[in-house]
Amino acid sequence: MTTPANALPPALDKMVQRFKRASDPKRRYEQLLWLAKKLPEFPESEKVPENKVRGCVSQVYVIAHLDDVGKIIYEGDSDAQLTKGLLAFLIQGMQGLTPNEVLKLSPDFIEETGLSASLTPSRANGFYNIFKLMKQKALLLSGNDLSDVEMN
């Protein structure tokens, strides 16, 4: 059985479908706040510039490392609960993928969630910037050549 090139990994697809079903923006916000509460504690020592999401009004931090089978483990934190929920959404959806699986992801799924319509433009942009940093962390872990990748 072949999957289309744009098929999402199962965990991410599950998250997207959950948000698509919530047609009410208030319900989407409630889901994000619930996800934010479930995010594990983030080490203060990791709140350094190289882990900070640029272009975000909130303070958002993301770290990534590989487990012993080469899958990415993401951790993150934000000082704003809604943004923390967006971060938790991405972490839950992208956790346990290989670096190359993450690098193949397109941000198109962000539109599919319906969240963009519910978010302020700066939050929607922040959501994209969190995703971009998570991809950059995956690229660093992949060992691929960084020369042709925009890192800002």
Count other Cβ atoms within 10 Å, centred on residue 150. Answer: 6
What lies within 8 Å, CB to CB, of 129 at 6+ separation is 53, 54, 55, 56, 60
Residue 20 falls in the annotated catalytic set? no
Pairing of strands 72-78, 60-66: antiparallel
User: What tokens does 146 get?
Assistant: 């960084």
- Catalytic pick from 8, 15, 35, 56? 56
User: What tokens does 133 get?
Assistant: 């940093």
Catalytic residue annotation: 56
